[in-house]
Amino acid sequence: MPRTSDPDPDPDEDDLDTIPPPRPVFYAEQALLGALLLEPRRLDDVTDIGPDAFSTAVHAAVFAAIRSLPTPVPAQHAENVKWLDAVLSSAREQTRGLNAAYLHTLIQMCPWPRHASAYAEMVEADHARRTLRTHAQRLAQTATDPTLPHPVETALAEAAALSGLLEALSARFRPHPNSLPRTPSLAPVNAPQVHEEAMDEERLLLATATAHPAEVEQMRWLTADDLTLPLHAGLWRCLTSLSRRAAPVDPVTVLWEAQRNGLLTAGAEPADIISLLTAGAGSPQYWGERILQRALLATAHETGRRIEAYTDDPATTPYQLVTGSRRALADLNALRTRWHHSTSPTPPSSRPPRPQLSAPPRAGPPRTAMATSRIPR
């Protein structure tokens, strides 16, 4: 987990303009550590966080030192600083630059030691926000990484890890009214460089599906929304509609269906559509999987960016983060199901085999009472 730089008691004046101001959680961490340094017994009230919950390496080291040392007797702790010296010595093993003056600063920053559990809840909430942000960033980056040998599997693994985190967070933070976060505004991104490649794959899908319409019925895992160009999406709807009506499928019938659905606009001339539907190569299944993969990765990238945008709003509560993130993952989960259907082998038919009728018995002499009765001598 990335943390901010360690607190520096004497920063250079030239660097003051580049140091961001501390966020509220920084003061919550100071107050919590100050409470524990003043009254170490308060550690019993802080059970849900660990050193990784703190935003700076110094704070994490101090908390780890406090937790690793035996709790001193309150009366003895009030009379000497032996336990504080032990905390300082232990924390210095993990981070450099820590001194006794900063421990005194932590103590001074604590308004009330009895509020330690409240400070801990603040630290835990911000840690949840940072952790969720890291997972969301990882999902978005994975979905656009061209070097991955198995991008879909990697992206789905990141999505599964994110879902597991949301399950853990939902158990730790209580629900409350107004659980939906505010809709974030996403910054625009540059158009992907593979736009022309996607267009070519969609054209090949439409042409091969027209040439092999029997395979279209087996591709219910592909929807028109997976195609990037509106004209291509409309033509795919035409193809699937004809196929499910068991109507004839060829370039002319698809063109007629396109006209009925209002697809013949100024940019879609009939001759162009006929040409598009007759230039196929490969199989619809192959091109359909390619298109579905591209749609899944695009959705994963968008999902990661949306969840990251939720974490950027400091007014969003942890439970709102959970609710909003789950909604953002819904579309990706639906695509994952369709992806598994597309890549799984077709299961054998579930119908029981037809019973095979045995050959009728060969005809024999009729059985009569005379035939079975004893012949008198």
What residue ranges do the domains of the chain occupy?
13-111, 195-293
Q: What percent of the chain has pLDDT over 90?
A: 67
Q: What superfamily does domain 195-293 belong to in CATH?
A: DNAb Helicase; Chain A (1.10.860.10)
Cβ-in-10-Å burial (0-12, 13-18, 19+) of 144 comes to middle
Task: Determine the average pLDDT of the residues in 232-240.
Answer: 95
pLDDT, position 1: 45
pTM here is 0.79
Angle at 247 between CA 243 and CA 251, to 5 degrees: 80
Q: Residue 4: beta bridge partners?
A: 56
Q: Would you say 142 and 68 are in contact if contact means Cβ atoms under 8 Å apart?
A: no
pLDDT, position 279: 82
The Cα–Cα gap between 185 and 306 comes to: 8
| Whether CATH 1.10.860 fits 13-111 | yes
pLDDT band at 178 (very low <50, low <70, confident <90, very high): confident
The Cα–Cα gap between 105 and 37 comes to: 11
Amino acid, single-letter form, for residue 226: D
In CATH terms, are 13-111 and 195-293 the same topology? yes
Angle between helices 57-68 and 82-92 (to 10 degrees): 130
CB neighbours of 57 closer than 8 A, spacing ≥ 6? 3, 6, 94, 95
The Cα–Cα gap between 136 and 278 comes to: 42
pLDDT digits (tens, 9 = 90+) for 70-90: 999 988 888 889 999 999 999
Neighbours of 167 (CB within 10 A): 11
User: Can you tell me whether residue 7 is helix, strand or coil?
Assistant: coil
Length of the chain: 377
Q: What percent of the chain has pLDDT over 70?
A: 82
User: Can you tell me whether residue 56 is helix, strand or coil?
Assistant: strand
pLDDT, position 359: 44
Amino acid, single-letter form, for residue 318: P
The Cα–Cα gap between 14 and 275 comes to: 66
Greatest distance between any 2 Cα atoms in the chain: 139
CA distances for 325 relative to 114, 124, 227, angstroms: 34, 18, 25
pLDDT band at 353 (very low <50, low <70, confident <90, very high): very low
pLDDT, position 114: 94
User: Can you tell me whether residue 191 is helix, strand or coil?
Assistant: coil
The Cα–Cα gap between 250 and 238 comes to: 11
Q: Which two tokens stand for residue 222?
A: 């592909």
What DSSP state is assigned to residue 133? H
What is the CA 53 to chain-centroid distance, rounded? Answer: 22
The Cα–Cα gap between 98 and 9 comes to: 10
pLDDT digits (tens, 9 = 90+) for 272-304: 999 999 987 889 999 999 999 999 999 999 999
In this predicted structure, the answer to whether residue 373 has a pLDDT above a threshold of 70 is: no
